[in-house]
Chains A and B, each alone.
Chain A
Amino acid sequence: MVQALGKITISSVRDLGRAGWFLFYSIYMIVRRPGHPAQVLKQMRFIGTKSLFVIVLTAAFTGMVLGLQGYYTLTKFGSEGMLGTAVALSLIRELGPVLAALMVTGRAGSAITAEIGIMRITEQIDALETMALDPFKYLVTPKFIAAIISLPLLCAIFDVVGIYGGWLVGVKLLGVNPGAYFYEMEKAVVWRDVYSGFAKSFSFGLIIAWIGCYKGYYAGHGAEGVSKATTESVVLTSVLILVWDYFLTSVLL
């Protein structure tokens, strides 16, 4: 019993240390020897361009439901004019960064883990090391750079599409004054809101690449190991994004 407890403690502390070292070493490698531009480009296509469709779709429906819910609540106080403010602030400050990051986690984070995990179990990573090539430079840093660049851009697209989704429902469907929608929005949103949203999505990009690569890099044996690593990667990234979001909000508020 005591032995098992000790074992769990030691292994979880080791895991944490390994993950921390992995993050530290990846950032060190980005500064020292970033991967080939073509590799980064390829990863950006995967993480950024290919996520575009799902981001636009989720953003449109998030904005639309915000418009609907916001209208329902605000109409009780006779202040439908504030709908633009409600939609824009909740999207820019909170929902844009978090939902974009969660969608990318599901789409790209899992694929990153699976890709690196399969390379690990088929000993391709060992082969790279044998040829004195640093696997970080080829596999890890391009994904880090691509995720850090792509996430804020995806978040911005999410915000804009969401705002127009809210406009579609609020103004076109429910008859809120279009002038009030945008005027109130522009009046209420300040640079601090925008800045905190992008700071969030930037750090979420780092989290997605970090956990995705780390879980794949240390995947267990066989197909089962890869499937376990992928599941753990998605769950851990999602939880970490939400927890980190809370701390970042309380600091940036």
Chain B
Amino acid sequence: MNMAKLEMMVGTFMIIGILCLGYVSVKLGKLEFGAGDYYTVKAGFDSVSGLKPGARVEVAGVEVGKVDRIALDDKSGDRALAFLKIKNGVKITDDVIASVRTSGIIGDKFIKLKPGGSGQMLKNNDTIRETESAIDIEELVSKFIHGKV
């Protein structure tokens, strides 16, 4: 077999392989080159039970970002700190209210942002002050049963 044909065949195989490699790692694995078009804001919650990294962040039902990671707040020690990646170009006011909400029957948690009327915008690494935690159905039911409502 001549060299050109051999190179052609192996080349075709490698192109298909690398395309698939790219699809799996970039599209599915979300491998990002560089920082990407995002800025990060922090939000402290009493409880983020059920929220996972990668969950949606919505404003008026439109996806504007993702939950980057979740950690325990070092300062207080009993609050959760969620790091939200917001797309550049989406402006969030500093009096926004962030709440953990549930969607669908399986109970996917996402973060709903409700912008306020302030003129000040949040910048990279700023903290959202107003938050609402995940609704704990069990706690609600027990409150109802023990008559504290």
Residues of A within 8 A of B (CB): 38, 41-42, 44-45, 48-49, 52, 78-79, 81-82, 88, 92, 149-150, 152-154, 156-157, 159-160, 185-187, 189-191, 193-195, 197-198
Contacts and interface: CB of A to CB of B under 8 A. Distances in A.
10 cross-chain pairs, A with B, having the tightest CB-CB distances, nearest first: A153-B17, A194-B29, A156-B20, A156-B21, A49-B13, A191-B29, A160-B20, A189-B28, A157-B20, A48-B13
Interface of B: 3, 6-7, 9-10, 12-14, 16-18, 20-21, 23-25, 27-31, 54, 105-106
A157 B17 CA distance: 6
Contacts of B27: 186
Identify whether the interface residues of A are mostly helix, strand, loop, or mixed.
helix
B20 A159 contact: yes
B25 A48 contact: no
Given A189-B29, A190-B29, A92 B24 contact: yes
Contacts of A92: 24, 28
Given A52-B13, A153-B20, A157-B17, A45 B28 contact: no
Contacts of A41: 6-7, 10
Contacts of B6: 38, 41-42, 45
Nearest to B52: A187
A193 B25 CA distance: 9
A189 B106 CA distance: 18
Given A45-B10, A160-B23, A160-B24, A194 B17 contact: no
Given A49-B13, A186-B28, A190-B30, 4 more contacts: A41-B10, A78-B105, A153-B18, A157-B16
